Amino acid sequence: MTRLDRLGRSLRELLETVETLKAQEIDLISLEEDIDTTSAVGELVFHVFAAIAHFERRLISERTKDGLLAARKRGRTPGRPPLHADTVSALRELVDNGTSVTKAASFLGIGRSTAYRAIQETRP
């Protein structure tokens, strides 16, 4: 394995994966962090690194939430602006007249997934 964070999305998932591997008598060796779980010291280092990685992810999440809250307090709305009503009606008209959603989206300069979402939201 190259990096520990590729093995699980959360600390719990990472530890469960390692326990599953251990139950199947599979040793974990991380090349990036130079961790070998075949020894007691390697297993300890693995747990410490996994906890630190989990801590870092939580900090990033908290900072992101704080940043979004601060932006809202300044009157900014994070994220992409909603589609203009004219764009949605033009999309709907093109699709109703037989144009594929992909072609209609390309013609209107919007993403295909955005077009599908807009159509789904405007269905009666």
| CA angle (99, 102, 105) in 5-degree steps | 90
pLDDT, mean of residues 58-74: 94
Question: Are 1 and 21 spatial neighbours (Cβ–Cβ below 8 Å)?
Answer: no
Tokens of 121: 């939201």
Tokens of 56: 């870092």
Residues 6+ apart with CB under 8 A from 21: 27, 28
- Cα(58)–Cα(69) distance, rounded to whole angstroms? 17
pLDDT, mean of residues 60-68: 95
Give the pLDDT score at 57: 85
Tokens of 61: 């999440």
pLDDT, mean of residues 30-36: 79
pLDDT, mean of residues 36-42: 84
- Cα(49)–Cα(1) distance, rounded to whole angstroms? 15
Closest listed residue to residue 83, CA positions, set 123, 110, 113:
110
